[in-house]
Amino acid sequence: MHTPVDISAVQVAGRLAGRRILVTGAASGIGQAVATLFGAAGARVAALDRQRPTALPADAIGLEADVTDEAAVECAVAEACAALGGIDGVVNAAGIANTDWADQVSLADWRRVLDVNLTGSFIVCRACLPHLRDAGGGTIVNFASGQGLSPFKQRSAYAASKAGVISMSRSLAMEWAPLVRVNTVCPGAVDTPMVRGGYSPEALREQVGPRYALGRIGEPHEIALAALYLSSAESSFVTGIVLAVDGGRSYH
């Protein structure tokens, strides 16, 4: 498997200076990488997860809420707004997976995947909307997946939830313009606890990586950089897009 390009020298300082951004799923994986990168880029970050995140950038605050619980989300958003003095952006990275065959997945598991990945993203977006409108130039980045663009077997619940995120985000982009921009990032397989929980290291190296044009799975910070672009002034004329950050898997 090829090794990632060294992007440690990428200059991010100041790219989000003055922005106040809520990141969900921030305790691990892509969400944690987003919170860390955004802090380095000058944003003040509110990091939300089911268990209060502890590995946070300087000046960040940790919040605890289940994204499927509307009341808990509204309380967490209010806490973030009070602590940060407002909210300029949201990154919805909270998500769970399921690899059951469609004729075997339990209805409870099906509903839980859609509740977290799709409904949870919607709840967070809607709770933050008044603050994003007040801020002017608000941004939302919702995480879908390459599975939402081109699904595999044993991904019916997960793929359905992520395809839903794509369509929901496009609808919100139309409804909430021009004050709020809404975009979607579709990662391929990324080296996170969720992905490692479903594959052995050998399978990631010998089976999953070769599916990608770049010959490897992604790293969390590579996905976070896409979210940074869509949360910054650099993407001021971009809304409603679906950005595949997947090493070429969705066309390969």
Q: How many CB atoms lie within 10 A of CB 126?
A: 15
User: Which residue(s) pair with 186 in the sheet?
Assistant: 244
pLDDT value for 5: 58
Instruction: Determine the Cα–Cα distance for residues 69 and 172; give it in Å rounded to an integer.
Output: 20
Instruction: Determine the Cα–Cα distance for residues 157 and 97; give it in Å rounded to an integer.
Output: 8
In angstroms and rounded to an integer, the radius of gyration of the C-alpha atoms of the chain is: 17
User: Which residue(s) pair with 245 in the sheet?
Assistant: 187
User: Which residue(s) pair with 17 in the sheet?
Assistant: none
pLDDT value for 245: 96
12-71 pLDDT, tens per residue? Answer: 999 999 999 999 999 999 999 999 999 999 999 999 999 999 888 888 999 999 999 999
119-128 pLDDT, tens per residue? Answer: 999 999 999 9
State yes or no: pLDDT of 85 exceeds 80.
Answer: yes
Q: How many CA atoms lie within 13 A of 56 on its CB side?
A: 21
pLDDT value for 252: 45
Q: Which residue in the block uniquely carries the two structure tokens 């390459």?
A: 146
**Mean pLDDT of the region 242-251:** 90
Instruction: Determine the Cα–Cα distance for residues 172 and 123; give it in Å rounded to an integer.
Output: 12
Q: Given pLDDT bands bounded at 50, 70 and 90, which one contains residue 129?
A: very high
Could you write out the DSSP letters of every residue in 185-222? EEE-SBSSHHHHTTS-HHHIIIIIGGGSTTSS-B-HHH
The answer regarding whether domain 20-187+230-243 maps to CATH 3.90.480.20 reads: no
The residue that leads in pLDDT, 246 or 4, is: 246
Q: Please name the helix (run of DSSP H) or strand (run of DSSP E) that holds residue 62, with its range, or none.
A: strand 61-64
Instruction: Determine the Cα–Cα distance for residues 135 and 132; give it in Å rounded to an integer.
Output: 5
The yes-or-no answer on residue 199 being catalytic is no
- Supply angle C-alpha 235, 239, 245, rounded to 5: 70
Round the average pLDDT of the chain to a whole number and report it.
93
Q: Given pLDDT bands bounded at 50, 70 and 90, which one contains residue 4?
A: low
Answer yes or no: pTM beyond 0.85.
yes
Q: How many CA atoms lie within 13 A of 87 on its CB side?
A: 30
pLDDT value for 9: 53
- Supply angle C-alpha 25, 191, 220, rounded to 5: 55
**Mean pLDDT of the region 154-181:** 97
Q: In whole angstroms, how far apart are CA 127 and each of 71, 82, 195?
A: 10, 14, 29
Q: Given pLDDT bands bounded at 50, 70 and 90, which one contains residue 195?
A: confident
pLDDT value for 200: 79
Could you write out the DSSP letters of every residue in 131-186? HHHHHSSEEEEEE--HHHHSPPTT-HHHHHHHHHHHHHHHHHHHHHTTTEEEEEEE
Which one is catalytic: 158, 212, 229, 251? 158
